[in-house]
Structure 1
Amino acid sequence: MSKAKRLLDILMFVTAKKNFTAQEIADEFNISIRTVHRYILDLSDMGMPIYSEQGRNGGYTVLTSRLLPPILFTEEEVVSIFFAFQSLNYYRNLPFDSEITSVEHKLYSSLQSEAKTKVDKIRSYIAFWNPKRTIDTPFLKDILEHSIENKNLHIQYESKSGMRKKHIHPIGVYAHDGLWYLPAYDYDKKKILLYRVDRILSILSAEKNEDDFMNLKEWFNFHEVKNPVRLHVILTVEGVRQCKSVHYFDGFVGTQEDGTGYIDTIIDRGELNFITSLFLRLGSHARILEPKELIVGLRKQAEEILAMYQDEN
């Protein structure tokens, strides 16, 4: 029997038992104690979390039994995994940073030289670029886990008006433009609001939730409009191009034969503050017809900017 096959059999054996002695393995596979110790060292080097206890009643413990059985990949499948990893390179924080690094190292080490060359070329010739943010998001993994576990949170959050305590129910996290966002039900305001995960200063407490809430996938597919308002905008050719590159306007932009276009849809009034800055960037390429509140908001921001640069003389 090959060493690889013997290691695989021992791995499956100790994963099932979780607690075992070297003698048990020796008896099961008819090998010497010295050989057992060598195999255990090999498994540890491969990343299996085995803890040894010394003494007469000592033995070994697998620190976690949640190990997957061996999976056979073709080289092309492994290359495709590295292709997916490449899309994550420009995020400063990820929910499973260390685990991703470990998986990447294990897969790369297992490749033949030809496949390694192909992976290296993927890293050099393709990128999924996002702005390289310097902002830390220390509670990203915790927020994701609390979302999955259906927990309510009390957090300290830094908003435009300063630091505040929030009582929320997180429904998931998503990445956009190099930042992580958290849609969550706010118990004080009794509606779902969007938070920046990097602005969460601390998680004060967490408790199990008994109510039913939508998850992130459902939230993406269903935005309840409680306070509807018409958004009617005329766009230049450049305005059409820019709006189609903004995720928020996806599906809202209509085009004319000459390349100009328009937006004519219903949104929630609570989103007006968010989209004001989007239209401010568009400048003369977007002329807003409705709602009046959006026009007032744009004028106010434009006047504030103009006042900053007025000639004092």
Structure 2
Amino acid sequence: MSKSKRLMELMMTVNRKRKFTVRELADEFGVSTRTILRDLQELSELGVPLYSEVGPHGGYQVLNERVLPPIAFTEEESVAIFFASHALRHYSFLPFETEASSALSKFYNFMPGDVRDRIDEMKNRVDFVTPQRQSSFPHLGVLLDAAVRQQVVRIKYESKEDSACRDIQPVGIYASGGLWYCPAYCFRREDFRLFRCDRILSAAALPVVEPLDLRRVNLANWEEHIRSKRHNAECYVELSKLGVELCEAELSRRVPMHVREDGSGYLEGTIPLGEIPFLARFFIGLGREATVKQPPLLVEEMKKLLSELLGRYE
């Protein structure tokens, strides 16, 4: 095996093993321990973060900031990856904001000149626009890390009614309409709830609190695990063709949508009672493109808002 190929495979091996001894690597690659020591030294000079531990149980270990091995991308793949990351610039807050900016800069600077020229030409020809919001989302990293590590987080949450501390176990985070949301198990309510991340005033992990086993719960199925059905209501809304288009972006994650062959459709499913004020304002904004059939509470809320609106112009 050539030295360059051995170094490449060695880089992938140490990233996979995380902790190892020189003798283990020497046996695996069929070379002397002296050769492996020289190879590890070269990997360290290339930026692979290694450190050694002495003693009978010592060896080498890779730090958390691991370096991925080189990956060969085609020109089309490189352009696609660049613009996928470039689109995130419209979000003022990301759970990995600094890392995304650094990665994009590295990716761009190491591209061949002609590929960079092509990207520069495309920057003003393609974009992925998201609504600009004044809200801030400083705790996205804490929430995402807790969701991945299965940890409990204590947050100070500001709702319309009050501001209170809650212990939650995040399922994940997602962006919609320029806002970030966090579905989580709320230990205060003993059920799953959806939290708006801009209303989270503080967030800190509580490693001493025993978390629930939510490994099977994710962003796609968390609503199926809501236990308190009394907090939900059955919803049915008729939509015109334009109404379907207007609802797709805003409500696709809230209520199941069904589209007919002619392009019209309807929303049918359960909604949390806490979302009725938002949905009332939203459907009023759709005008004739949406007709709410149920729940009655939503219809009454819309009538109330329309009455107040008419009163302003009398």
TM-score (norm 2): 0.73
Verify the 8 A CA contact 2:236 2:292 in the aligned structure 1.
Answer: yes
Instruction: Kindly indicate whether residue 215 of structure 2 is the aligned counterpart of residue 211 of structure 1.
Output: no
What's the CA shift for 1:250? Answer: 6.7
What's the CA shift for 1:294? Answer: 1.1
Change (3 A) 1:26 1:173: same
- SS of the residue corresponding to residue 267 of structure 1 reads strand
- SS of the residue corresponding to residue 78 of structure 2 reads helix
CA distance in 1, matches of 2:109, 2:81: 14
Instruction: Kindly indicate whether residue 125 of structure 2 is the aligned counterpart of residue 122 of structure 1.
Output: no
CA deviation vs aligned residue, 1:205-240 (integer Å, no higher than 9, x gap): 513434222432342684658246443333344334
What's the CA shift for 1:173? Answer: 0.4
- Equivalent residue pairs, number: 285
CA distance in 2, matches of 1:27, 1:240: 62
Q: 2:257 matched to which residue of 1?
A: 252
CA distance in 2, matches of 1:178, 1:111: 31
Instruction: Kindly indicate whether residue 134 of structure 2 is the aligned counterpart of residue 131 of structure 1.
Output: no
CA deviation vs aligned residue, 1:52-98 (integer Å, no higher than 9, x gap): xxxxxxxxx98656222333333332222112113312111111112
CA distance in 2, matches of 1:251, 1:91: 27
Over the matched positions of the two proteins, sequence identity in percent amounts to 30
Which amino acid in structure 2 is aligned with residue 188 of structure 1?
A: R
Q: 2:58 matched to which residue of 1?
A: none
Verify the 8 A CA contact 1:156 1:204 in the aligned structure 2.
Answer: no
What's the CA shift for 1:194? Answer: 0.9
Change (3 A) 1:273 1:186: farther
CA distance in 1, matches of 2:34, 2:109: 28
Q: 1:180 matched to which residue of 2?
A: 180
Matches within 5 A, 1:6-85: 12=11, 43=46, 64=64, 66-85=66-85
Q: 1:56 matched to which residue of 2?
A: none
CA distance in 2, matches of 1:222, 1:196: 19
Verify the 8 A CA contact 1:244 1:250 in the aligned structure 2.
Answer: no
What's the CA shift for 1:272? Answer: 3.2
What's the CA shift for 1:25? Answer: 9.8
Which amino acid in structure 2 is aligned with residue 97 of structure 1?
A: E
Which residue, 291, 294, 298 being the options, matches 1:290?
294
Verify the 8 A CA contact 1:172 1:215 in the aligned structure 2.
Answer: no
Change (3 A) 1:117 1:296: same
- SS of the residue corresponding to residue 305 of structure 2 reads helix
Which residue, 266, 272, 277 being the options, matches 1:263?
266
Change (3 A) 1:74 1:210: same
TM-score (norm 1): 0.73
Unaligned runs of 5+ in 1: 19-23, 31-35, 52-60
CA distance in 2, matches of 1:17, 1:223: 39
CA distance in 2, matches of 1:105, 1:25: 37
Which amino acid in structure 2 is aligned with residue 183 of structure 1?
A: P
Which residue, 278, 299, 304 being the options, matches 2:308?
304
Unaligned runs of 5+ in 2: 21-32, 52-60
Q: Which has the larger radius of gyration?
A: 1
Change (3 A) 1:293 1:190: same
